[in-house]
Structure 1
Amino acid sequence: MVENDIRELMQTIATQTRKEYASKFREMNLHVGQETALCYLWEKDGITQSELRHKMQCEASTVSNMLRKLEQDSIVYRKPDKTDGRISNVFLTEKGRKLQEPIRDIWEKQQHKMLKDIPPEELLLMRRILKQMAENLTDEG
Structure 2
Amino acid sequence: MLSLQEYISIKLHKVDLKLTGYIKAKLEPFNIAPEQNLIMMLLWEQDGLTQSQIAAKLNKDKTNIARMASNLEQKGFITRQACPHDKRSIKLFVTEKGEDLGKKVIPVAEQFNELVSGGFTKKELEELDRLLTKISYNLD
Q: TM-score, normalised by structure 2?
A: 0.84
Match in the other structure for 2:133:
134
What CA distance in whole angstroms lies between the structure 1 residues aligned with 2:137 and 2:103? 31
What CA distance in whole angstroms lies between the structure 2 residues aligned with 1:34 and 1:55? 14
What CA distance in whole angstroms lies between the structure 2 residues aligned with 1:135 and 1:70? 33
Runs of 4 or more above 6 Å deviation: none
C-alpha distance after superposition, 1:47-95 (max 9, x if no partner): 1111111111111111011001000001011111111222111101011
Aligned pair partner of 2:31 in 23, 29, 32: 29
Alpha-carbon distance, 1:119 to partner: 5.3
Deviation larger for 39-48 or 107-116? 107-116
Alpha-carbon distance, 1:5 to partner: 5.4
Aligned pair partner of 2:111 in 109, 112, 118: 109
What CA distance in whole angstroms lies between the structure 2 residues aligned with 1:63 and 1:29? 17
Q: 3-state SS of the aligned residue for 1:78?
A: strand
Unaligned runs of 5+ in 1: none
Deviation larger for 106-115 or 69-78? 106-115
Match in the other structure for 2:97:
95
Match in the other structure for 1:42:
44
Aligned pair partner of 1:66 in 60, 65, 68: 68
C-alpha distance after superposition, 1:8-29 (max 9, x if no partner): 3332221111011111111100
Unaligned runs of 5+ in 2: none
Match in the other structure for 1:56:
58
Equivalent residue letter for 1:132 = L
What CA distance in whole angstroms lies between the structure 1 residues aligned with 2:53 and 2:120? 38
Equivalent residue letter for 1:125 = E
State whether structure 2 residue 138 is matched by structure 1 residue 125: no
What CA distance in whole angstroms lies between the structure 2 residues aligned with 1:42 and 1:133? 25
Alpha-carbon distance, 1:103 to partner: 2.0
Q: 3-state SS of the aligned residue for 2:70?
A: helix
- Equivalenced residue count is 138
Equivalent residue letter for 2:114 = H
Match in the other structure for 2:10:
8
**Pair 1:46–1:115, CA change in 2 (3 A):** closer
